[in-house]
Structure 1
């Protein structure tokens, strides 16, 4: 190997992954080989793995050539790697200054103890350390991502795919739903199931009411949203729809539920925070297709819309961005949309609220090509602004922690990667 290239490669490993025309480049081969031992260190419980510090990665000459070969396939990243050892160009300095929010220091840790596809993952409410993820085998893991990363609880009870879960406001409980037709309530500190609510169809989406945490809202394949009393497990009210309710979220006041169905419609539902009574106020078509909605996410404010906003993601790859009226009806107005490739997997998307304090409206989503993509909905012609590479199979779930210094992503092989953003001024 050319010694000059080797020195430049070492310099490249020591750099942060920053915004550039080619996206973030992780060590795909290294991550795929992590099960061989390598230099990745496991926690004592073998439940989480530290990603090795880039500057300390020791590579054989054969491995180095493999990395260089992979870099060649990334449309010019090899040239960037070779040039990093020298003085940066004015263009590079401008990119780093212009978009500091896109700087990542790399992989913070990896959880690879799940044997089935990780279908959904979320961080605890207002919490930067607590991460949970549910899998297709019915298992639900609760982890900490701080030093050292580890699995705190493995909660077993569901017999089929976990479709959704939500943390209570104080992060003491998790409510989960599944294709096994049940809703389960878990006490996190003990890792035990304290309540099971049986349904007649697959339970597809769930959330705690933000004002009244004794109220659970659950969408199911029986074309219903059920309001369930958390303490008793009783269904106190229900509302019927035209098709299976596949995704939902609720506004911060607890006044409106936004629900997506299997035909691509999005409904605004009024909810009484005291009695749990539900009433439909508005029906909106998210796109021209009849594809199931996989993500509904509410956000309190957007600089672009100057009002509350809603993100929807459909199975066919349609992303839609709505403004929400602040009157009593909660009407949705489509601001912009983005068409991505159709998916076989139920792939989810998320707002990037802190990144959206920059110019634009940014979202992050998984993809069946095993990458994590960042899009700016304000750029219809050049919407893809970056990507993270590191997974070896389709990326299904994405989630930010409180403060957005960690981004977690999960794939169909059961791997969860926690990416760490760099500190920016």
Structure 2
């Protein structure tokens, strides 16, 4: 898809284009994307692959000469400094080189599914590829000077986006304003910001940092309300509000502790700390707020039970090892059910040896996990803290998709119900390792970020609807 390669090339140099006019840069890159998409639909004149390669080579030389910048996309992607907060010294498995699109890694029972006529009728009987055709660039942000590691849309506002960066700041953006704008840059942390989360009411934002602090921000007035030190003075790598009680924040640190923090008092209650081991890189909490799953850099997922009636006590329940090579668990995502034919609660785990693990959550109240499917996915994941997420309204569609970042600079849509040919869409707008991915709640916008601090807002193509229904 040479049009997407051309777009990657243009977006690579967009930061140097009209440096005093950011709105012009956005308009330029959006228009460029539109022209390339229109070109891809022309079937009458199809240039040969040699002409395409020459075009990309010549355009790259022209842009480098014009802006006096010598950048190599491939070398930047492969040789860029890792943004991970742990050391991943793993031997590269030769099996990773196999065709990701061709077969499952383990022959396990797939998620039960069937022909869902009612589900597909709700969205116009579109194919799953059409449902997830997020290839239109809505806006590009470049307000951060370092990697943007975490992105979070607000829970009840489809336009507000929070971005956490290694430059030590957070930003709040409104992606639906005309034009889209940065509402605020939040500065208080003295180290890279490693995580952020919105409260259920969207009034508060919590953030954590390598400087061993947790900050709470007024999301309306854009000011810091409180800053709390980690009880072990260790770098805090992840944080998440309890979905039932937003006065409780769950954190995980580099020392391997999961902690409960009372937001209103700024205190860590007695019994609210548990040693997991390793470095806590990811958290997921079920809708009841009572079951917490944590993932560390040793490839372990540990379930904990949270009992607020007993003084915010955390109790360890189960520990599982995801893969024999113990790839770091860089992201965990929980969903109560992922399709109308798969009503069981599911947990998705990103492992840093190119594997996605999908677990069924047991009916017991202790977070026990049963492996449902484990497969290699069509992206590279070995050295960075890559994120993934369930598509928010996929329960009304055929298939069950997740979107995941990648070290090959792409963003992949993966159907976890398929036994092969998992990838249903691939976005190639970034020119380096992609990190953060998030949807707004109605799935009209997708935000992605990379290690150079670029944030791309993607919008869905207009869908076809079957008027005969």
Q: Fold match, TM over 0.5? A: yes
Q: Is the 8 A contact 1:209 1:273 kept in 2?
A: no
Task: Determine the structure 2 residue equivalent to 1:295.
Answer: 331
Q: Is the 8 A contact 2:165 2:193 kept in 1?
A: yes
Q: Structure 2: where are the runs of 5+ without partners?
A: 37-46, 57-124
Cα separation, partners in 2 of 1:24 and 1:322, compared to 1, 3 Å: farther
Q: 1:359: how far off?
A: 3.2
Cα separation, partners in 2 of 1:259 and 1:67, compared to 1, 3 Å: farther
- From 20, 28, 33, the equivalent of 2:8 is 28
- From 369, 384, 392, the equivalent of 1:345 is 384
Q: How does 1:235-254 map to 2 (within 5 A)?
A: 235-236=268-269, 237-254=272-289
Is 1:188 matched up with 2:212? no
- Structure with bigger strand share is 1
- From 204, 217, 231, the equivalent of 2:250 is 217
Cα distance between partner residues in 2 of 1:164 and 1:49: 30
Q: Which has the higher contact order (CA 8 A, sep 6+)?
A: 2
TM-score, normalisation: structure 1:
0.81
Q: Is the 8 A contact 1:206 1:248 kept in 2?
A: yes
- From 393, 396, 412, the equivalent of 1:354 is 393
Q: Is the 8 A contact 1:246 1:261 kept in 2?
A: yes
Task: Determine the structure 1 residue equivalent to 2:239.
Answer: 206
**Cα-to-partner distance string for 1:370-401 (whole Å, 9 max, x where unaligned):** 11111122223312222001111110111111
Q: Is the 8 A contact 1:26 1:106 kept in 2?
A: no
**Cα-to-partner distance string for 1:153-173 (whole Å, 9 max, x where unaligned):** 101111222111110111111
Cα distance between partner residues in 1 of 2:352 and 2:229: 27
Is 1:394 matched up with 2:424? no
Q: Which sits farther off after the overlay, 29-38 or 241-250?
A: 29-38
Cα distance between partner residues in 1 of 2:33 and 2:321: 50
Cα separation, partners in 2 of 1:348 and 1:37, compared to 1, 3 Å: same
Q: Is the 8 A contact 2:356 2:376 kept in 1?
A: yes
**Cα-to-partner distance string for 1:70-118 (whole Å, 9 max, x where unaligned):** 6999xxxxxxxxxxxxxxxxxxxxx975642032351000001211011
Cα separation, partners in 2 of 1:361 and 1:22, compared to 1, 3 Å: farther
Cα distance between partner residues in 1 of 2:388 and 2:2: 21
Q: 1:259: how far off?
A: 0.9
Task: Determine the structure 2 residue equivalent to 1:16.
Answer: none
Task: Determine the structure 1 residue equivalent to 2:193.
Answer: 162
Q: Is the 8 A contact 1:109 1:149 kept in 2?
A: yes
Task: Determine the structure 1 residue equivalent to 2:403.
Answer: 364
Q: 1:356: how far off?
A: 5.5
For the aligned residue pairs, the C-alpha RMSD in angstroms reads 3.1
Is 1:317 matched up with 2:354? yes
Aligned residues: 378
